[in-house]
A and B are shown apart, each in its own frame.
Chain A
Amino acid sequence: MDLNIITENWLFLYYVEICMTSFGDAFAAAWALIAGFDGELADIVLLSLKVSLSAVVLATAIGLPLGAAIAVERFPGRQVLIVILNALMGLPPVVVGLLVYLLLSRAGPLGTLGILFTPQAMVIAQAVLITPIIAALSRQTIEDAWREYDEQLRSLGARRLSAAMTLIWDTRFSLLTIVLAGFGRAAAEVGAVMIVGGNIDGVTRVMTTAIALETSKGDLPLALGLGIVLIGLVMLLNALAAVIREMAQRKYG
Chain B
Amino acid sequence: MILGPNGAGKSVLMRLCHGLLTPVAGRIVWHGARNGDVRRHQAMVFQRPVMLRRSALENVIYGLKLAGKSREECRLRALDVLEVVGLAQHAYRPARVMSGGEQQRLALARAWALGPDVLFLDEPTANLDPSATQDIERIINAIHASGTKIIMTTHNLGQARRLGDEILFMSKGRLMEQTPVDRFFGEPVSSEAAAFIKGEMPWD
Contacts and interface: CB of A to CB of B under 8 A. Distances in A.
Contacts of B37: 157
A252 B66 contact: no
A170 B18 contact: no
Contacts of A38: none
Contact of A154 (B20, B63, B67): B20
B96 A252 contact: yes
Contacts of B50: 148-149, 151-152
A157 B114 CA distance: 11
Interface in B1-41: 15, 18, 20, 37, 39-40
A157 B94 contact: no
A253 B97 contact: yes
A253 B99 CA distance: 11
Interface in A239-253: 248, 251-253
B95 interface: yes
Interface in B24-75: 37, 39-40, 43-44, 46, 50, 52-54, 62-63, 66-67
21 contacts: A151-B20, A151-B44, A151-B46, A151-B50, A152-B44, A155-B18, A155-B20, A156-B43, A156-B63, A156-B66, A156-B114, A157-B37, A157-B40, A157-B66, A170-B52, A170-B54, A248-B53, A252-B96, A253-B53, A253-B95, A253-B96
Q: Kindly state the interface size class of chain B when it binds its partner.
A: 20 to 34
A155 B66 contact: no
Interface string A141-175: 00000001101101111100010001000101000
Contact of B67 (A148, A157, A166, A253): A157
Contacts of B110: 156
A141 B67 CA distance: 27
Given A148-B50, A151-B46, A170-B52, A157 B39 contact: yes
A155 B19 CA distance: 8
Contacts of B97: 252-253
Contacts of A166: 52, 62
The 9 closest A-B pairs by CB, nearest first: A253-B96, A152-B50, A253-B97, A252-B53, A155-B44, A157-B66, A156-B63, A252-B94, A170-B53
A152 B18 CA distance: 11
Contacts of A151: 15, 20, 44, 46, 50
Given A152-B50, A155-B20, A170-B53, 14 more contacts: A151-B15, A151-B44, A152-B46, A154-B20, A155-B18, A155-B43, A155-B44, A156-B62, A156-B114, A158-B66, A170-B52, A248-B53, A251-B94, A252-B94
Contacts of A149: 50, 52
Nearest to A163: B66
A148 B52 CA distance: 10
Contacts of A162: 66
Nearest to B40: A157
B121 to A, nearest CB: 12
A172 B53 CA distance: 10
Contacts of B43: 155-156
Contacts of B96: 252-253
Nearest to B52: A170
A146 B15 CA distance: 17
B82 to A, nearest CB: 17
A151 B53 CA distance: 17
A155 B39 contact: yes
Interface string B82-105: 000000000000111100000000
Contacts of B95: 253
Contacts of B114: 156
Contacts of A251: 94
A27 B51 CA distance: 53
A251 B93 CA distance: 9
Contacts of A154: 20
